[in-house]
Chains A and B, each alone.
Chain A
Amino acid sequence: MKAKSRLPREEKPGELNMTPMIDVVFQLLIFFMLSMRFRAIEGKLITTLPQDKGLQSSTVLSPELEEVRIILCAAGPNPINIGSNDRYYGESAHRSNKGEHERIEKDPTLCKALVEKNACGELIMTEKNEKSAAANRAVYKNVAAKAKQLDDMRPSTRDPSKAAPIIIDADSEVPYEHVLGVINALREVDISNVEFAGNPRFDLYYGSGQRGQFQRR
Chain B
Amino acid sequence: MAKVHDPEEPEGMNMTPMIDVTFQLIIFFMLVTDMANRQIELVKLPQASKAIKEPVEDPQILIVNIRKDGAVKIDGKLVFTPPPLDKPQEFKAEKLENIFVARRQSDAYRTVAGKDDQVKYPVLIRADRSAPWQWVQMIMMIATKEGGVTRVQMGAMQEQAEVKS
Contact = CB atoms under 8 A, between A and B. Distances in A.
Interface of A: 1-3, 7, 11-14, 16-17, 20-21, 24-25, 27-28, 31-32, 35, 38, 41-55, 72, 80, 82, 85-89, 91, 105, 108, 125-127, 133, 170-181, 183-184, 187-188, 196, 198-199, 201-202, 205-207, 214
Contact of B12 (A13, A44, A188): A13
B142 to A, nearest CB: 6
A4 to B, nearest CB: 8
B163 to A, nearest CB: 11
6 contacts: A21-B22, A43-B52, A46-B151, A172-B133, A180-B154, A181-B48
Majority secondary structure of chain A interface residues (helix, strand, loop or mixed): mixed
Contact of B131 (A12, A35, A52, A176): A176
B37 to A, nearest CB: 7
Contacts of B44: 127
B157 A214 contact: no
B156 A184 contact: yes
A86 B88 CA distance: 7
Interface string B130-161: 11111011101111111011111111111011
Contact of A43 (B51, B91, B144): B51
Nearest to B140: A214
A13 B46 CA distance: 57
Nearest to B149: A49
A49 B45 CA distance: 21
B133 A170 contact: yes
Given A35-B37, A41-B158, A108-B132, A199 B85 contact: no
Contacts of A27: 26
